[in-house]
């Protein structure tokens, strides 16, 4: 059950666009990240958010009211993946690796040089998408400071492989 909602924006966020709203459990967030959400203390006697049923037209809907916390991150698109693993709602790190790099690249682990070479040969659109996503999730990790070293290792490997693949592509273009 979530305890709060993050209203997420980025530094380059268009002010006319609404923030992305992501539900979290504050305790799991605090266990997974060193970033301080600055959650104000609950008033005395306040109970945790509890769902209630409401009727909307002919349909019964389960509803819950949650406090909203504003947060700014470098890359909104990759934040939900980082939250999923950082809060340990998903623990299979292979799924994280496969979410960051194509399967044929991950298959070469732990040979980072081979991983970078294979990634560098991806089509431009796929490589650009992978580069932007991995750069973004790495910057989000730096901003939120993931506590779990095994998650950080996967993120760092993916980012290092991606950055090296970019260098390979740039060298190839100059030739």
Torsion of CA 49, 50, 53, 57, to 10 degrees: 10
Print the SS3 string covering the chain.
Answer: CCCEEEEEEECCCCCCCCCEEEEECHHHHHHHECCCCCCCCCCCCCCCCCCEEEEECCEEEEECCCCEEEEEECCHHHHHHHHHHHCCCCCCHHHHHHHHCCHHHHCCCCCHHHHHHHHHCCCHHHHHHHHHHHHHHHHHHHHHCECCHHHHHHHHHHHHHHHHHHHHHHHHHHC
One digit per residue, pLDDT tens: the chain, 175 residues? 899 999 999 988 788 889 999 999 999 999 999 999 998 887 787 777 777 888 888 888 888 889 999 999 999 999 999 999 999 999 999 999 999 999 999 999 999 999 999 999 999 999 999 999 999 999 999 999 999 999 999 999 999 999 999 999 999 887 7
Residues in the chain: 175
- Residue in 86, 83, 74, 87 with CA at minimum distance from that of residue 11: 74
Tell whether pTM > 0.85.
yes
Q: How far is CA 139 from the centre of its chain?
A: 10
Note the pLDDT of residue 12. Answer: 83
Note the pLDDT of residue 40. Answer: 82
C-alpha 3/C-alpha 28 separation (Å) is 10
* Residue 174 structure tokens: 């100059």
Q: Hey, which residues does 167 pair with through a beta bridge? A: none
Note the pLDDT of residue 52. Answer: 80
Note the pLDDT of residue 13. Answer: 78
């Amino acid at each position: 059950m979530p305890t709060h909602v993050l209203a997420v924006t980025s530094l380059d966020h268009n002010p006319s666009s609404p923030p992305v709203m992501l539900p979290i459990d504050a305790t799991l967030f605090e266990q997974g990240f060193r970033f301080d959400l600055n959650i104000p203390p609950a008033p005395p006697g306040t109970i945790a958010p509890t769902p209630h049923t409401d009727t909307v037209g002919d349909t019964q809907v389960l509803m819950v009211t949650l406090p909203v916390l504003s947060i700014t991150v470098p890359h909104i698109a990759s934040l939900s993946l980082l939250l999923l693993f950082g809060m340990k709602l998903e623990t299979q790190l292979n799924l994280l690796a496969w979410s960051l790099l194509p399967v044929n690249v991950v298959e070469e682990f732990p040979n980072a040089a081979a991983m970078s070479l294979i990634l560098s040969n991806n089509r431009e659109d796929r490589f650009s998408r992978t580069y932007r996503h991995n750069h973004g999730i790495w910057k989000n990790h730096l901003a939120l400071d993931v506590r779990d070293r095994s998650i950080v290792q996967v993120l760092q490997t993916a980012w290092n492989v991606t950055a090296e693949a970019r260098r390979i592509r740039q060298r190839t273009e100059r030739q």
